[in-house]
Amino acid sequence: MNTLRTRRNPFFLKCKDAAALASAQLDEPLSWSQRFGFQLHLAICGWCRRYARQLAFLQLCIRRLPSEAPENVKLSDQARQRIQAVVIQAHERKN
């Protein structure tokens, strides 16, 4: 991942790099060496294990967020009338 500063040893990650990879792996597959370094780091670092778990949990939550939206999110009456008027007008003009 190019966000990481170049280090002497790509397999010896610091927590900061591991945190970036914990996010990156949710977006696209890591390269072989990234995965290796990341897993190696997770094996010795409880903080980053926890961090990666939490990011994964967060992703799950965010994806469920719309279906948990309260039903009361609605167009305001004003907006509804305005849009209705515009749509009807455009529709009539078309025909």
Partner 1 sequence: MTPGGEPSLAAGAERAGVDPAVWVRDYGDLLFRCAVARVRNVASAEDLVQVTFLAALKSLDSFRGKAPEKHWLTGILMNKIGDYFRRIARENRAGLENLDDAEQECFKRDGFSADCWIHRLGPKKWAAQEASLDQKEFWATLRQCCSRLPVKLSEVYLMRELDGKSTTEICELLSVSPNHVGVILHRARAGLRRCLELRWFGRAATGEPKP
DSSP structural state of residue 6? P
Q: Are 24 and 52 in contact (CB under 8 A)?
A: no
- Counting Cα atoms < 13 Å in the Cβ hemisphere of 26 gives 17
Kindly identify the residues of this chain, within the stretch 56-85, that bind partner 1 according to CB under 8 A: 57-59, 61-66, 68-69, 73-76, 79-80, 82-84
CB of residue 38 vs partner 1: minimum separation in angstroms?
14
Name the token pair of 63. 């994806």
CB of residue 36 vs partner 1: minimum separation in angstroms?
19
Asked if 33 interacts with partner 1 (CB under 8 A), we say no
Radius of gyration of the chain (CA): 24
d(CA 90, CA 95) in angstroms, rounded, equals 9
Asked if 20 interacts with partner 1 (CB under 8 A), we say yes
Question: By the criterion CB under 8 A, which residues form the site for partner 1?
Answer: 1-3, 14-17, 19-20, 23-24, 26-28, 44-51, 54-55, 57-59, 61-66, 68-69, 73-76, 79-80, 82-84, 86-88, 90-92, 94-95
